[in-house]
Structure 1
């Protein structure tokens, strides 16, 4: 039904809204949007309908084009508007538009969203979430109707035929796709079997898997009363999500007086806060490396059928049609099984493979985040997680005013015991059908290899809360995408199913540097004053730009430099390179002269000297599971490959007339703004990732992943104290004043002082307020 015209009321400060229960308002919508520094919206309404309406309206003002493009993706219409061979707008794992369209049309055609919407909570969405979604859609559409496609402020989609109203179905599909982000949605090409197109010269496609792609990661700390100077809880949120597209964070505060008051980072196109805090509780997430899907090997029985317990079972067939730019239709047939979609890759005359995804029918995450936002204590947050069990692929780290630090991997993990994994894998020979797919490959010919069930699990087939790794402490818990094992080195976690990850394995440099940063702050050895965390020392700690691999290898490198001037293989003089690295302080700051040279040297370590040579480890002291915080370490300077790597790096700089003192501020940027930091492999905490290697001009391609929504929050009896920075800024619109303003702040190491209470918001000299109304 068409909405009535909107009413916008301008004011210095919106009138107070009385507390009211979260009930529908007879089909009408009303919300107040206050914007503070950097355009950050604070949205207040008397009910969930109005809150969603205000949020959808505010988001459309800043980022309509990004969501409009993604809706085209979710509907499987990219080929029609952008051509089948162009790359899709998926920021995590882009594929051709045709592969994207076939996949998304197959999801829509499966009816999974329709079936979930027909279920009551917690399996289906709650009434509150449904109203948020409906309101969000109405608010977005109202802004679009008021503005008009031809008058949109963002030139990216102004006047484009593919821009139009959105529906609640689009938003539910987006929430489902978010939950599938690291599982089914990452294997569109394997599911559809649609290869990358040939290049214009007719040659083979470019190997996109060999190029760096944005990958989700994160750092997270929850600090308890024994680790903080004030005795309350503190949280550091540092998610590493893509800097482009639909998986960006939007900073927002959502308030229904007396019902909900939450502030933090909300992923585009979702009406809830994923990482944030209220007055008493704060939480964040990191991507878990637990298994969230398995692969089943199907023993084929002729035709489109496979054997289960000795009986032939037919595969399902799904017909998918994609409209092309000329109006013709491209038809595709996808096969399905009892386990999930049958992969179009890896098939032989004897076997095929099916993908079984624990998040295949998961819409519960949004309700879980909404319930967490209403929690008044850590106990209530944990109860919300037990109720919905919807976290798709992330760990949770949280704390409250009492100062208890909490970690759990509550993500959806297939119920495959260690014994079952061993037994079922033994009867299913052969490697994983998809290169790089890290999952159990189980025997699909016997029902004995079906996923099990826990009595405390909301849905069958996954581990319930009683089997999930978790830890609560008074000092701290931390994670940087390592497994649960070293959440706190004083209390290593062990004994959980291997589907959650291995223990006793190399932590890798980034998790190690994070734990060392905490240890130094708690002992006062970091030069930041008395031991223990304050909000200010937390900010300083996480923006220190330490490069752990350089710290661990520096002494050996300088010893190598004293004895080695050139490599006999290349003849490159390394004396100037050694002098540069000897002067560098090991910090990847904007002016870190030596940081880029180290990166180029370090990334060459371990590379075979010539094709066919084995990869070598550059570490002098190998990893020892008994000493996970201090090994591996040192540089193996007697290995010819190490000397060759140093010579090759020096030669690259000299041959291309790039100064050896090239700094991160000179070499890497986003929207022409210099970006500090270094990479995952180097052991950098707030890492960056660029779109490719260093060019001969001394520049990396634009930064595309890294610290995204950084939040440092201290919970006190007087309310939260919070500092944030949205690294790529609030708006993707290049014409917006908030397109790069926080990026410039991030570049120079600054933070935004969050305004949370009505008094703090009212005191902002930049405050702008609108009240928006609409009726269905």
Structure 2
């Protein structure tokens, strides 16, 4: 063997051993020498069912299977979490954050500051529930080792995905990488969406530094009174990004006699976030509750300290170093306070602002999901949530085999009473900021404490909005008060979100869909849900704003068939009105009128010139006493409405786009036509594109929307489920499972779930692999 060959072998051994993998040569294996062992069984569409005898082996099998499908996405994201993007991809390029990308340099400064702060190290030193449980630690260790085993077995130069094949950044990972990913997930709607404001290292996006993330969701938990057979049923429809590290991966995780859970798991996490076991099913929707506050600091004379209770406290300094592509190191200074990082925005000679994030030191969510996965009924699921109190930014909706439906905003929320918010309020440094700004010069404005809170400064379970029903609970990112219109939730503190406020069209259509199914008015047969009618209801593609405005639109068409566009041109809208009059209001692939309506409705809500306020097109305004039926109608006599119609029709005519343009011809993902409509239109299973309709009659590719849809019925013979992973299992363009489920989604089809051993074994496409390390 040459010296070069010996060095190559030595390097490979070091990499494997650093990953916790035992390399076996030709000598017989020593009994008990294998640390990890797992079986990976793949059914239709590549869905992995992973079984092991212990938590470490389960994590190992999961990490291995996930790397087979999506190694490049996670490898890139872990470069981000290490603060190394500038070195590999250039400081000025944009990061791979799917929610809120910033420049690589700003991203690196932020993530280097998190790593250097030692927050993960401190949490790992704490016992559960503040620190991770032993079971979760073993899963994380195993996950990293399984990923590394696949990388070593395959070799960087032989990776099937060309995105990272042969790249230096496609390297072995550590358990710390996975812990960092779990922490960042929990910070997603707090610190991690404010990187620019924290670092001052890049220009904020045009849409500002405080917009809510793109993630949304629909969730229904149906109780025995809402289902035909009296079983608990659940619909999960999270709306997460279709690209990058915040996609869902579909998996079943099994330790015989200990754990058996199936569902959607976010990339790089070893647990199921949305799923079911044999007797419980749950899902999540993003909550309106606040996750952070700003504290207004009163600076002392030299700006190096700030005043609290009449005493000066020094502003801390954190020096961060980022390695650039040419190997040089760029330094950047961040500033800290007792509340958290001092923002780079809003600072003057007299004041500065500090960010206090309730999820800044939260690693508890993964253990909570693991405990929920083992719950045999809602009582134990609620106990899991009360024990860990780690849900970072989501509501929980769940049901069990007994047919009880449960809703709670059991998420991490800073303890700020309405009285404290009024007493401590200070002006915001950023217009439109969706967070309290409190007085940082007095300790009287610190977050409060609940005796039942697992950590100080957050609300405990006793103060969380919660509802248990025998019929249903539902949420589509509305505040908690309309979880079930028969039992409005009111009286909780404003930090959770306001009650008696206007419902957006999507939550309204969601509640209307349930009401029609329970009454049988939707044309799907006898009242009450079955698994089949739940599927049909979820994919009905109703456009609720069109339903609410259709009659007034037709009045407009009769009285003003040639409206005037914003440039003064008279436009013949007769053909467009005829198309909209015939459209059934559903955004199906062949829905003629769906895109014409969208372009008209979008212009209704768009200011006519910069500085104008958003126009309200509703004829009947919102009435808090009638939240399900108001607002409604269209101001058909309004010049602004007529102009919006004229402008929409003129755009089609000027660009020679057919007025009958359909979703199937205008919106796509990986060249696959997609049905659906947008959030603002009031569409349940919505889609979103980053940009307007082009002059070629096509939108940019869909990047957000319904992601992992799951309909499940919990019965005495085991769970029955139907699922669809809209963007498919693998981000690797060479994989057979890159778009196979996307084709199903395009056609309105589902995948039949396989949960029991008999169901898995019966799959004619079953492939089984045993992995050890």
TM score, norm. by length of structure 2:
0.95
**Which residue in 1 is equivalent to 2:408?**
408
Q: Superposition pairs for residues 19-168 of structure 1, below 5 Å?
A: 28-168=35-175
- Aligned partners of 1:493 and 1:304: how far apart in 2? 46
**Which residue in 2 is equivalent to 1:522?**
518
**Which residue in 2 is equivalent to 1:361?**
361
CA contact (8 A) 1:239 1:286 kept: yes
Secondary structure of the residue aligned to 2:342 is: coil
- Aligned partners of 1:399 and 1:6: how far apart in 2? 47
CA contact (8 A) 1:49 1:132 kept: yes
**Which residue in 1 is equivalent to 2:552?**
556
Label 1:755 to 1:145 Cα distance change in 2 as closer, same or farther (>3 A): same
- Aligned partners of 1:119 and 1:615: how far apart in 2? 50
- Aligned partners of 2:373 and 2:608: how far apart in 1? 53
- Aligned partners of 2:273 and 2:495: how far apart in 1? 25
* Deviation of 1:194 (Å): 1.5
- Aligned partners of 1:724 and 1:5: how far apart in 2? 38
CA contact (8 A) 1:29 1:50 kept: yes
Gaps of 5+ in 1: 8-24, 197-204
**Which residue in 1 is equivalent to 2:185?**
178
CA contact (8 A) 1:262 1:277 kept: yes
* Deviation of 1:230 (Å): 1.0
- Aligned partners of 1:700 and 1:675: how far apart in 2? 11
**Which residue in 1 is equivalent to 2:29?**
none
CA contact (8 A) 1:225 1:231 kept: yes
- Aligned partners of 2:251 and 2:646: how far apart in 1? 49
Secondary structure of the residue aligned to 2:735 is: coil
CA contact (8 A) 1:92 1:213 kept: no
- Aligned partners of 2:145 and 2:88: how far apart in 1? 25
| Structure 1 moving runs of 4+ over 6 Å | 210-214
Bigger Cα displacement from structure 2, 208-217 vs 643-652: 208-217
**Which residue in 2 is equivalent to 1:262?**
261
Matched, 1:585 2:584: yes
Any idea what the Cα deviations from partners look like across 1:655-700, whole Å, max 9, x if unmatched?
0000000000000000000010000000000000001100000000
**Which residue in 2 is equivalent to 1:321?**
321
Secondary structure of the residue aligned to 1:258 is: coil
| Higher-RCO chain (CA-CA 8 Å, sequence separation at least 6) | 1
Label 1:220 to 1:523 Cα distance change in 2 as closer, same or farther (>3 A): same
* Deviation of 1:608 (Å): 3.2
Q: Superposition pairs for residues 387-536 of structure 1, below 5 Å?
A: 387-425=387-425, 428=426, 430-431=427-428, 433-536=429-532
CA contact (8 A) 2:194 2:210 kept: no
CA contact (8 A) 2:667 2:701 kept: yes
CA contact (8 A) 1:601 1:645 kept: yes
CA contact (8 A) 1:289 1:481 kept: yes
**Which residue in 2 is equivalent to 1:704?**
703
* Deviation of 1:303 (Å): 2.8
- Aligned partners of 1:212 and 1:657: how far apart in 2? 35
Q: Superposition pairs for residues 255-334 of structure 1, below 5 Å?
A: 255-301=254-300, 302-334=302-334
Secondary structure of the residue aligned to 2:448 is: coil
**Which residue in 1 is equivalent to 2:231?**
232
* Deviation of 1:607 (Å): 2.8
Secondary structure of the residue aligned to 1:599 is: helix
CA contact (8 A) 1:6 1:142 kept: no
**Which residue in 2 is equivalent to 1:12?**
none
Secondary structure of the residue aligned to 1:217 is: coil
CA contact (8 A) 1:714 1:720 kept: yes
* Deviation of 1:207 (Å): 3.1
- Aligned partners of 1:611 and 1:151: how far apart in 2? 53
CA contact (8 A) 2:193 2:210 kept: no
**Which residue in 2 is equivalent to 1:639?**
638
Matched, 1:670 2:677: no
Matched, 1:195 2:213: no
- Aligned partners of 2:146 and 2:728: how far apart in 1? 22
* Deviation of 1:348 (Å): 1.0
* Deviation of 1:396 (Å): 0.1
- Aligned partners of 1:394 and 1:93: how far apart in 2? 18
Q: Superposition pairs for residues 723-738 of structure 1, below 5 Å?
A: 723-738=722-737
Any idea what the Cα deviations from partners look like across 1:324-343, whole Å, max 9, x if unmatched?
00111110010000000000
**Which residue in 1 is equivalent to 2:220?**
221
Q: Superposition pairs for residues 742-753 of structure 1, below 5 Å?
A: 742-753=741-752
Label 1:248 to 1:611 Cα distance change in 2 as closer, same or farther (>3 A): closer
Any idea what the Cα deviations from partners look like across 1:441-492, whole Å, max 9, x if unmatched?
0000000000000000000000000000000000000000000000000000
- Aligned partners of 1:216 and 1:256: how far apart in 2? 31
The alignment of Structure 1 onto Structure 2 pairs a total of residues equal to 746
* Deviation of 1:576 (Å): 1.1
Bigger Cα displacement from structure 2, 565-574 vs 115-124: 565-574
CA contact (8 A) 2:303 2:349 kept: no
**Which residue in 2 is equivalent to 1:757?**
756
- Aligned partners of 1:684 and 1:541: how far apart in 2? 12
**Which residue in 2 is equivalent to 1:544?**
540
* Deviation of 1:566 (Å): 1.9
* Deviation of 1:209 (Å): 4.8
CA contact (8 A) 1:214 1:704 kept: no
CA contact (8 A) 1:686 1:706 kept: yes
* Deviation of 1:615 (Å): 3.0
Secondary structure of the residue aligned to 1:770 is: strand
TM score, norm. by length of structure 1:
0.95
- Aligned partners of 2:614 and 2:142: how far apart in 1? 55
**Which residue in 1 is equivalent to 2:7?**
none
CA contact (8 A) 2:189 2:212 kept: no
* Deviation of 1:370 (Å): 0.1
CA contact (8 A) 1:53 1:138 kept: yes
* Deviation of 1:614 (Å): 4.0
- Aligned partners of 2:399 and 2:247: how far apart in 1? 25
CA contact (8 A) 2:246 2:266 kept: yes
**Which residue in 2 is equivalent to 1:344?**
344
CA contact (8 A) 2:372 2:381 kept: yes
CA contact (8 A) 2:218 2:684 kept: yes
Q: Superposition pairs for residues 642-721 of structure 1, below 5 Å?
A: 642-721=641-720
**Which residue in 2 is equivalent to 1:169?**
176
CA RMSD in angstroms comes to 1.5
- Aligned partners of 2:81 and 2:716: how far apart in 1? 44
CA contact (8 A) 1:6 1:773 kept: no
**Which residue in 2 is equivalent to 1:17?**
none
Label 1:214 to 1:701 Cα distance change in 2 as closer, same or farther (>3 A): farther
* Deviation of 1:304 (Å): 1.6
- Aligned partners of 1:607 and 1:735: how far apart in 2? 41
* Deviation of 1:211 (Å): 14
CA contact (8 A) 1:405 1:476 kept: yes
- Aligned partners of 1:212 and 1:346: how far apart in 2? 17
